[in-house]
Structure 1
Amino acid sequence: MDRAQRRVVVVGGGIAGLTAARDLAAAGHDVLLLEATDRVGGKLRRHEVAGVAVDVGAEAMLNRRPEGVTLAAAAGLEVIHPAVVSSRLWVRDALRPLPRSLMGVPLDLDQLASSGVLSADGLARARREPELAAEVLDGDVSVGDLVARRFGDEVTDSLVEPLLGGVYAGRSREISARAAVPQLVAYAERGSLLEQAGAIPPSYDRPVFAGVPGGMGRLPEALASGSFVVRTGATVRGLRPGPDGAGFVLAVGPTTAPEQLRADAVVLATPAAPTARLLGEVAPAAAAELAGVESASVAVVTLAFRAAEVLPLLEERLGGQGSGFLVPPTAGRRIKAATFSFAKWAWVRDAGRRTLDGEDLVHLRTSLGRHREAVALQAADEELVGWSLADLADAVGLSATPVDTHVQRWGGGLPQYALGHLDRVARVRAAIARVPGLAVCGAAYDGVGIPAVVASAHRAAREALDAPPAG
C-alpha cells in the first residue's frame, strides 16, 4: 500500500473525528478537520455553572475497556476515578439501593430481595429463572424481551429500562441484545442467565469508570491542539468523487457559494443522519442503511446550590451516601436520572468550595428525554429546570433555590441500536469498503460509549489509508 503523504479531510469534530485526525496526522498525513458548529468536542463539552466549569455532556468513560483512558493519557491528561458511592433506583415511590446487575440482569438475588426494588410476585418470578431451559436464538432479540422472558416483566421495567435509558436513552424492548449486551445472548443460549451472570466476581482489579480532572470536556480540547488543522463553523454540504474518480471533492460552506475542497481520503465522523446525506452520491447503499438509524434526543440540566442547603438534607435522607439515582419510565416522572456530581467526583466538590462569596457550592445534574419523546427539544429551559426541581423535591425533599442553572440539549445525540443493528452495520461497512479512501466512524456503529467510539475512529483512520493518493 502506498504510504505517501495524503490530503485527508475528517468531517466532524467530536471525539471520533478528533481521534481519527490525530491518528492520521501521526502517520504523517496532511489532515484537515471540519466541524460545523463553533467548537469541537461533540457530546464532550464543559460549561460554567455558577463560575465552575463542569461537564454538560458525557462525564465519564468505561475504564475496563482501554481505548478511552489510553487516549486521555496519550493526550497528556490525568485519568481519575469516581468515588465508590452507591446509586439508587426510584421505584415503587422510594429511592431504593441499586442491586448489582449486568445491564439489569440480577447478579445476587438476596441483594435484589433486600433492595425492595421488586414486589413479592416480581421477586418470586425472578427466582424461577434458573429453572428455564436454554434459549434457541436464531435471529436478533431485544434486551427487554430477552430479560422479561427469563425473569418477568418487572425486572425489565424496574432494572433494565433505567439502565438502558441512561446509556442509550432508548427503550429496552426495542434495543438489540446482540448489539448492546451480546453476553446476555451468549448466556441465554447456554442456560440460566442468573447462574452465569452471578458467577461474575463482586470486585475487580480496577474501577468501572474513569474521568479527567476538570471534566471529560478537556479531552477534545487537548486533542484539538494536535498536529492537524481544525476549522469550526465549516458545514460540509456535499461529497462527490474527484476528477476521473480519483479522491473526493467536498462542498463546504454556504449553499450560495460553497468552497470546493479536494481530498485523497475522507473520514465521516458525523451522526448517522448527516452521514447518510453526504454518502448519497459516493456510497448510496450505505446512505440508505444509515438513513434508517433512529436517534434519541436528551437534555442535561445542571444545577448549582449552596452546599449548606443540600448536604445536611442528603445526609438526613440518604445518610450522606450516594452518587444519584435512576428513574424507570414506569415511575411516571419527568427526569430519567439524577447525578450528584459533587459526591461522585472529588474535583467537582473542590471546584465548588468558597465559590460564592466564600460559600461552598455543590453541583447536581438531571437528564431528561427518551427515544421518541420530544420533551428534550420542545420544552423551554424553564420547564426542564422546573421539572427537575420538582422531581428532586419529591425524591429527596430538596426545596432550595439553585444559584445557577444550565440546560444542554443534545438533539439526536444517541443512536438507537434497533433489532438487526449488527447486520445493518456490516452492510454499511461492506458498501463503504467498495469506495477506496472513504471511512466512517462514531457512535452509530459499534457502541455509544467513549472507548467504543475511539476504537471506531482508530479503525476508520486505518481504512481511510487504503487508497493511493489522487493524481
Structure 2
Amino acid sequence: MPSPAAAPVPTAVVVGGGIAGLLAARELARASVRTTVLEAAEEWGGCVGSHVVAGLTLDSGAESFATRTAAVAGLAEDLGLGAEIVPPNPGGAWVQLPEGPRELPKTGVLGIPANPWDPEVRRSLGLLGSVRASLDALLPASVGTAAGATSVAALVRARMGRRVLDRLVSPVVGGVHSADPALLDVDMVAPGLRAGIRTHGSLAAAVAAQRRGAARPGAGQPFVRQGARRPGLQKAGSAVAGLRGGMHTLVTALLTELRGLGVTLVGGTRAGEVQRIPGGWRVTAGRSVFDAERLVVAVEGPAAVALLAGALPALSALRPAAGPDVRLVTLVLDCPALDSAPRGTGVLVAPQSPGIRAKALTHATAKWAWLAERTAPGRHVLRLSYGRGDNIQTGRVRPEPGTDEELFDAALEDAATLLAVPLSRSDVAGWDVVRWSGALPFASLGHKRRVEEVRRLCAAEGSLVVVGGWLSGNGLAAIVADTPTQVAALLP
C-alpha cells in the first residue's frame, strides 16, 4: 500500500530585510513556512545597523528603544539577550532654547510635562508659561479629544499653551520624528494619550499615567519578567533602554536564529516588480524570480505602494510622502573636558535656536555606561543628527550642510556650542556620516485612517501583509509590537 504523500510545505517571500522584514520572516519560519527574504542592500537590519569608528563598533542607527511596551525586551529575551538590557544613565537630557540650554523634564511624553511646576519645567517655561500649562487641569476633558484626528501641536497648544509647544514639545518631536508637531497625528506617535485625557481629566495626568505604566512590570516596562527583579532599572524617568554592546546586537542574534530556522536570506537583491499569479505571488528582482503563496512587503511606504500598485491599483491613492533625509554624524573625541557630561546624556535643539544646525546631540558615552567602560580615559562618543525636513520653519540663516566634510565641520562646531566645550579637529580620533534617506516617515494628520485603509485592501487579498514603521509608527517598540500581529494572518 503506497504511503500518503507528504503535505506541501507552505512558502512565503518577504521583501525588505529591515527589522520589520526580519521579524516577519521569524514569525513565518517558526510556523514552518519556507521563507525567503530579499534585501536591496548588503547589510541587514535597516535602521538598526552598526559601523566602526576609531576602532569602536557603534550603532549606526537606533541606539535605544522605548519602554512603553514590553515588546522589544520580550524579543531580546527570546533571542538570549535579556541579561543585556540596560537603562541609560539617569542624568537626563537638555534642551537648547534661543536664550540658552535648560534641563529637559525627566518625566514627560514627547516633551509634554507630567507636572508643569517641576523645577526644570518652570525654568524652561517661566512663571507665566507654567501658569498657562497648569490650566490644563481645569479644562474639560473634551478639549483636544473631541475631533476625529488631532495633531500633536493642536492638542498641546489647546491644553497647555504655546510655550510648552515651542520650548519642550517641538525640540523633542523634531529630534525624534524629524517633523513639525503641527503635522503629526498624536494618535499615531503617542497612542492612548488622548484616551488618557478622557480617563484622567487632563493632559498632564494622562502623561503621568503613561509614565507610571512604563514603570510597572507587564505594563510597558520590560525590566521585570518572570518574577525576577533587577535593581535600579525601574525608574519612572527612564523612558528608553538599550542593549549592552549596542542595539545592532539584536539584529545579529535575529539573523542567527533565522539561519537556524532555514530562512533563505538574499542580500544585494532589489525587488523590481510584484505580480499576482495563480496560487500566490511572483517577485521579480533583476534576472531572478521568486514565487510563493504568501507575500510580506516590509519596505518604506512609497516603495511598498510602488511595488504593489500593479496588483492593487487602489493603493496608489494612499501612497505616503517620503520621510525627510536624516544624516547622523558620529564623532569619537579625545577630550577629558567632556568627562563631566556637561549636558547630561545629550541635547535636543529647539528649531528657533540660532546658529545651530543639528536637531539633536547624544553624548553616547555619558548615556551608556557599557560604552564608557569600553573606551579609553578621556575618550567620548557623540552622535549629532541633521535633517528636520522641509516641514519645519527654523528661522536659521545658514543652509543645512550637504557633503560629508560639511557635516563633519558642522557637527564639530555644533557640539562645541551645545556642550560649551572648545573642540577642534585635533581632538577627533575618528568620525563617520550615515545617511538615512526617507527612512523616518512621519505620521501626518489622518494617518491612522490611511493605515486602516491600506491594511483593509491588503487583507482582502488573503495572502498579503504590509508592515513597517510607516504603518505601525516609528521606533522599534511600535514595529516589534505590530509586525507579529499582522503576520499572524498569513500563518497556516
On whether the aligned pair clears a TM of 0.5, the verdict is yes
Letter in 1 for 2:53: V
Q: CA deviation at 1:373?
A: 6.7
In structure 1, distance between residues paired with 2:280 and 2:399: 40
Partner of 1:444: 470
Matches within 5 A, 1:18-37: 18-37=22-41
For the Cα contact (< 8 Å) 1:369–1:376, is it kept in 2? no
Tell me the secondary structure at the aligned position of residue 415 of structure 1. Answer: coil
Structure 1 gaps, min length 5: 354-358, 467-471
In structure 2, distance between residues paired with 1:63 and 1:149: 28
Letter in 2 for 1:130: A
Partner of 2:47: 43
Partner of 1:240: 275
Residues 340-381 of structure 1, C-alpha deviations (whole Å, 9 max, x = no match): 11011122112212xxxxx65211111111132799997011
Distance 1:459-1:360 versus aligned 2 partners, 3 A rule: same
Partner of 2:483: 457
Tell me the secondary structure at the aligned position of residue 465 of structure 2. Answer: strand
Partner of 1:96: 102
Partner of 1:108: 115
Q: CA deviation at 1:112?
A: 4.8
1:267 and 2:293 correspond = no
Q: Which of residues 82, 86, 90 in structure 2 aligns to 1:80?
A: 86
Distance 1:376-1:437 versus aligned 2 partners, 3 A rule: farther
In structure 2, distance between residues paired with 1:171 and 1:196: 22
For the Cα contact (< 8 Å) 1:86–1:98, is it kept in 2? yes
1:192 and 2:220 correspond = no
Q: CA deviation at 1:295?
A: 1.4
In structure 2, distance between residues paired with 1:262 and 1:117: 57
Structure 2 gaps, min length 5: 1-6, 217-233, 393-397
Distance 1:367-1:38 versus aligned 2 partners, 3 A rule: same
Letter in 2 for 1:345: W
Residues 297-344 of structure 1, C-alpha deviations (whole Å, 9 max, x = no match): 211111101142432xx46xx3xx711111111213211111111011
Partner of 1:408: 434
Of all paired residues, the percent bearing the same amino acid is 32
Letter in 2 for 1:270: V
Partner of 1:334: 357
Tell me the secondary structure at the aligned position of residue 172 of structure 1. Answer: coil
Residues 264-308 of structure 1, C-alpha deviations (whole Å, 9 max, x = no match): 11111111011001111222223431x134412211111101142
For the Cα contact (< 8 Å) 1:89–1:325, is it kept in 2? yes
Letter in 2 for 1:310: L
Partner of 1:279: 308
1:166 and 2:175 correspond = yes
In structure 1, distance between residues paired with 2:136 and 2:349: 25
Tell me the secondary structure at the aligned position of residue 159 of structure 2. Answer: helix
The TM-score normalised by the length of structure 1 is 0.88
Letter in 1 for 2:100: A
Q: CA deviation at 1:50?
A: 0.6
Residues 415-458 of structure 1, C-alpha deviations (whole Å, 9 max, x = no match): 11111111101100110011121111110112211121122221
In structure 1, distance between residues paired with 2:280 and 2:373: 51
Q: CA deviation at 1:220?
A: 1.3
Please identify, of 17-26 and 124-133, the stretch whose mean Cα deviation from structure 2 is larger.
124-133
Partner of 1:132: 139
Letter in 2 for 1:397: A
Give the aligned length: 447
Tell me the secondary structure at the aligned position of residue 95 of structure 2. Answer: strand
Letter in 2 for 1:222: A
The TM-score normalised by the length of structure 2 is 0.85
For the Cα contact (< 8 Å) 1:282–1:435, is it kept in 2? no
Distance 1:48-1:295 versus aligned 2 partners, 3 A rule: same
Please identify, of 396-405 and 33-42, the stretch whose mean Cα deviation from structure 2 is larger.
396-405
Tell me the secondary structure at the aligned position of residue 448 of structure 1. Answer: coil
For the Cα contact (< 8 Å) 1:323–1:344, is it kept in 2? yes
Letter in 2 for 1:252: A
Q: CA deviation at 1:166?
A: 2.6
Q: CA deviation at 1:170?
A: 0.9
In structure 1, distance between residues paired with 2:26 and 2:76: 12
Residues 375-408 of structure 1, C-alpha deviations (whole Å, 9 max, x = no match): 9997011111222222222222222331211111
Distance 1:417-1:64 versus aligned 2 partners, 3 A rule: closer
Partner of 1:382: 405
In structure 2, distance between residues paired with 1:334 and 1:457: 35
Distance 1:199-1:28 versus aligned 2 partners, 3 A rule: closer
Partner of 2:421: 398
1:145 and 2:158 correspond = no
